[in-house]
């Protein structure tokens, strides 16, 4: 990393410190670990909290799409179908519950894109961090169980193509 990039990161941390204190947000380190907010050094912005909310939302919604592909594997890649075969009923139910919460979060995210409110941006970030802490544990547990079943199940890879 060059000195210029380091200084951008330090500037970001200082700007975030002020926003954090104003709204009672999680630490920069916590948000960066889970949501990679250090990328906010790239865009120039007067509204840092909105940029941070976007990074938080993007991470959650990328996982939402993954869960969606597990729950509704239409045209899903073979990797996803392999995981689907290893999920039990309880794990699917937990994924459905997580997915429903993520949908609510995405609606809140879209509303914030349509109508800016610094206070609501901050609340979204706080709520999302708490939500992420909860679901991260559930997702790690589910994926750990799936991972332990890889060798127990015979996973067939069908390379026959469309007309096979």
Each residue's pLDDT tens digit, 120-134: 999 999 999 999 999
Domain ranges of the chain: 3-149
| Residue 127: per-residue pLDDT | 97
pLDDT exceeding 70 applies to what percent of the chain?
89
Q: Kindly indicate the confidence band of residue 2, based on its pLDDT and cuts at 50, 70 and 90.
A: low
Residues 6+ apart with CB under 8 A from 151: none
Mean pLDDT to the nearest integer, 66-85: 90
Mean pLDDT of the chain: 89
Mean pLDDT to the nearest integer, 157-163: 46
Q: Which residue has the higher pLDDT, 162 or 132?
A: 132
For helices 78-86 and 48-71, the axis angle rounded to 10 degrees is 70
Of residues 125, 130, 162, the one with CA closest to residue 50: 125
Q: What is the Cα–Cα distance from 22 to 108, expressed in whole angstroms?
A: 21
pTM over 0.85: no
Residue 1 has pLDDT above 80, yes or no: no
| Residue 118: per-residue pLDDT | 95
Residue 138 has pLDDT above 50, yes or no: yes
Mean pLDDT to the nearest integer, 22-29: 96
Mean pLDDT to the nearest integer, 145-157: 73
Residue 110 has pLDDT above 50, yes or no: yes
Mean pLDDT to the nearest integer, 102-114: 95
């Amino acid at each position: 990393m060059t000195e210029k990039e380091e200084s951008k990161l330090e500037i970001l941390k200082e700007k975030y410190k002020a926003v954090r204190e104003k709204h009672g947000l999680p630490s920069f380190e916590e948000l960066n670990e889970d949501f990679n907010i250090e990328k906010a050094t790239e865009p120039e912005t007067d509204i840092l909290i909105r940029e941070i909310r976007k990074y938080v939302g993007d991470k959650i919604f990328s996982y939402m799409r993954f869960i969606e592909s597990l729950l509704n594997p239409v045209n899903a890649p073979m990797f996803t179908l392999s995981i689907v075969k290893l999920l039990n009923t309880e794990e699917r139910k937990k994924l459905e519950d997580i997915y429903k919460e993520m949908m609510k979060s995405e609606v809140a995210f879209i509303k914030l894109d349509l109508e800016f409110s610094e206070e609501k941006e901050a609340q979204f970030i706080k709520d999302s961090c708490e939500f992420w802490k909860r679901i991260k544990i559930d997702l790690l547990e589910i994926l750990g169980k799936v991972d332990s079943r890889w060798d127990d199940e015979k996973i067939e890879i069908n390379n026959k193509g469309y007309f096979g």
